[in-house]
Amino acid sequence: MKVVELLRNDGVPNVSYEIVPPKRGGSVSEILEIIDKLMEFAPPFVDVTSHSAQIYYEEQQDGSWRRHIKRKRPGTLGLCAAIKGRFGIETVPHLLCKGFTREESEDALIELNYLGIQNVMALRGDDSGFQKPVHGDRTRNEYAIDLVRQIHAMNTGHFLEELIDAAPTDFCVGVAGYPEKHFEAPNIKWDVKNLKHKIEAGAEYVTTQMFFDNESFFAFETACRSAGITAPIIPGLKVLTSKSQLQTLPSRFHIQIPEELASEIAAAKDHEVPEIGVRWAIKQCDELLSRGFSNLHFYIIQTPNHAAQVVRSLRKLA
């Protein structure tokens, strides 16, 4: 089924999750254990992130430098197929523009189609140093909208090389939205306008970057609706579990942590932080649900236990 068919609008918590593939050569069993734990909550779908290649240089004995290209976390497509096959739930692989040619994207999409995966999240990705964007390079997608257009073309039977007898694909495409604005956008209006263009190009729903202040999400949702975006917008949430995240989350994801939450965490002992994070997330979810946002999306990096605590508590309240 498609993500847009799995969304609910009835106040009952409908919680999806985003997981990260294991590091190169790592075991898939830990990820499958995470999904196993989440099955208690009947997730409508699970997103699996994608990671572009990184470039690094190694000094040689003769003083020269050898260039290496490495994908630290490959396996998004295989993992999606494994989860879908084993647990029977829909999976949403993330596809990136950065680090991939349009041909590679088409190949990945054809493979997903063979695997019966109908949902994809189209993203630009961040600069990994692997490939500097060259404006006008038609072999690569520059912005997420270019990838959305490519998928939409495939959905209408147009492949890069026109193929006789190729059946059109039927992907449901999600795109990213930023309640606190994307860090490169000069202002929120500009960012929302670009989001609207992604929807007009064929995306069917939006999942947001994590946020810890619901007011930023409500303002973003209002801005999207005023701009004429009618697609579902799924709020992205994360449970804060360590003091170090007060620095790492803002610097990595360009988001803010409200003063009240940051001060409480800073003053707490290390072992008290997860409890504070869980309490905050429950409060956020309660408010979102009471304002009619039944579909929630949790970012999970290592353990599902804290998100599970939140969801268990919401189900008791529902």
Q: Give contact residues for ligand FAD (rule: CB under 6 A).
A: 49-52, 94, 96, 123-126, 143-145, 176, 182, 184-185, 190-191, 194, 198, 207, 209, 236
Q: How far is the CB of 16 from ligand FAD (least distance, A)?
A: 11
CB of 262 to ligand FAD, least distance (A): 21
Closer Cβ to ligand FAD, 94 or 306, answer by number: 94
Residues 6+ apart with CB under 8 A from 313: 278, 282
Whose CA is closest to 27, among 86, 70, 77, 75? 75
| Shortest Å, Cβ 167 to ligand FAD | 28
Q: Indicate the residue among 20 and 273 with the shorter CB distance to ligand FAD.
A: 20
**Whose CA is closest to 92, among 25, 6, 154?**
6
- Closest CB to ligand FAD among residues 188, 261: 188
| Contact in structure between 71 and 53 (CB atoms under 8 Å) | yes
Minimum CB separation from ligand FAD for residue 317, in Å? 26
Give me Rg for the CA atoms of the chain: 20
Residues 6+ apart with CB under 8 A from 225: none
Computed from CA positions of residues 120, 16, 194, 289, in that sequence, does the dihedral angle turn out positive or negative?
A: positive
Least Å distance between CB 175 and ligand FAD? 6
Nearer to ligand FAD, 154 or 237 (CB): 237
Is the CB of residue 180 less than 8 Å from the CB of residue 254?
yes
Min separation Cβ 99 and ligand FAD, Å: 9
Answer for the pair 41, 12: CB distance below 8 angstroms, yes or no: no
**Which region holds residue 160: left if phi is over 0, alpha if psi is between -120 and 50, else beta?**
alpha
Nearer to ligand FAD, 82 or 145 (CB): 145
Nearer CB in complex with ligand FAD: 69/266: 69
